Chain A
Amino acid sequence: MKDAKLELIVGVFVLVGIAALTYLAVKLGKLEVIGGGNNLEIHAEFDSVAGLKDGATVEIAGVQVGQVKKIWLNGDGERAVVSFSLTPGVKLYGDAIASIKTRGLIGDKYVSLSPGGSQKELPPGGKIRETESGIDFEKAISEFIHGNVK
């Protein structure tokens, strides 16, 4: 009787341990087993996504609003198509712009979104038409080329 109780406690303990490990693996691996169903999926085409990986973060104003789900070549085999999974409530419009940026000088690549503000909201599964493929020191070069306001 005593042995059976001990075995039950050990069993429960092992199950709790397995559950905790599974949760940790899902969290660390950024997998979407639970709660990923309501996410908004959007895609965009880039000339190059060199360095961008599946699972890379997608940000608006530095706030993470999703992640890269999949990267593949388009029908012509010339451009890269990236699909993002965005948290519910994120609003993007027809003139939204997606850019690939680098964190710091040699950091990871991530996708930065500028939501835009035209009347047409981007529907789930929609495509961001305007994109910028990543280059280093984007901003400095951009301001140098196009001039700045200040």
Chain B
Amino acid sequence: MTDVALSSLTSPPAKRAVLPDLVRSEWSKFRTVRSTYWSLLAAVAAMIGLGAIISAAQSSHQAAFDPVSTSLSGVLLAQLAIGVLGVLFVTSEYSTGMIRTTFIAAPQRRSVIGAKAAVFAGAALIVGTVTSFVTFLVGQSVLSAHSVSLASPGALRSVIGVGLYLGLLGIFAVGLATIIRSTAGAIAALFGLILVVPAIAQALPTSIRDSMDKFLPGNAGQAIFHTIRDTSTLSPWAGLGVFALYAAAALTAGLVLVKRRDV
């Protein structure tokens, strides 16, 4: 143990770009803590389970409803698990002191946060999309008489849209967490913007609310998995675009701040 044999003198890989190595490192961090698996499991269970329950409840009603978004409604619960996991991916480094180890190993701080966003958004997109397909099929089988196929108008777009929404939510979460750095603060900000602000907006006069409501991040982003549209929402792709702008703005602000601040 006291033998200091650091024989094989290592040398840095010549000329290779650093960013792919940072992505590998962040991917390794992502898959080597248990909270990742618990959170993803919770997201998958919430999406499929809640989708099936709500589908079962709706199928007994006579009124017209959107069978696609009904089967996918579990995403509203699943987004909590995905959002918390995305926040923790950043804030746990600050709360444990790991962030200093990370930034000593990689002083390219913006690349580190970029790699985190890429890894997390990719994971949320893939898990979200696969789960979305399963959820749709489970939900439609529960809806039985009211069920539609993936070929029906807007169905495939909605199912893929759930994955895209969760991927962008991941970028939003990483961005806000980089700005705020504390777990509680970042979770409050993320779900405050997505869940609480729309509720507060209800208190505004109708004239203002109707023009503003659809541009709020949650309402805009969730337009992608609704097949029945009313005038109060943006079109699916425009809505997802607005949501992407929120995510990009949060990430950009985080990248600017992380470069400037002491850690």
Q: Is B one of A's binding partners?
A: no
